Chains A and B, each alone.
Chain A
């Protein structure tokens, strides 16, 4: 049974049109992460939430925002997507207080046209 669920699996949007990707988890984990993975590259961490505390990576563009309204859900908002934002976006969770691994969803493949 899927424990980290990302919707939709595929999303197509227009250049400059805001888009929101969603992630939900049934693990009750404290930490939720968002990664960007471009074609033939490794996943790159964008930001993460530890409970309600937001932690942005230094090189994450301002165009990318996130919301975590409760433990189970986390959203990735791209305010004005550019062609370079075409990528797979991965959500992951972890307990955050021990060495147990992160659990990943299957991602949302976003295409900007």
Chain B
């Protein structure tokens, strides 16, 4: 079963930072936080993942709280192409994913 809770929908103005929260209060010490997004009619696309430390790549930043019970995905300058459903997944490395309901992000011109 999914171990994450996300708001069902969010809006963000184009060019602004999009901050997508995720609660994972039952995460265990060796479970990672993975973020994916899914644009209509495509497969989920990997964005970023982390264990404890904050992570950044060319797509996004991941901020994990010190107690690891929640995290935030940050898209620094949202574009219209970032409109998608964003999934936060908690999983042991190399293990199967159980998706939660995700957040539908709409970037508004």
Contact = CB atoms under 8 A, between A and B. Distances in A.
Could you say which interface size class chain A belongs to?
Answer: 20 to 34
B21 interface: no
B43 to A, nearest CB: 4
Given A106-B42, A106-B43, A44 B99 contact: yes
Contacts of A106: 41-43
Contacts of A98: 93-94
Nearest to A31: B94
A45 B89 CA distance: 13
From DSSP, what is the main secondary structure of chain B's interface residues? loop
Interface of B: 2, 32, 34, 36, 41-46, 49, 51, 87, 93-94, 96-102
A70 interface: no
Interface string A64-95: 00000000000000000000000000101011
B93 A43 contact: no
B51 to A, nearest CB: 7
A43 B96 contact: no
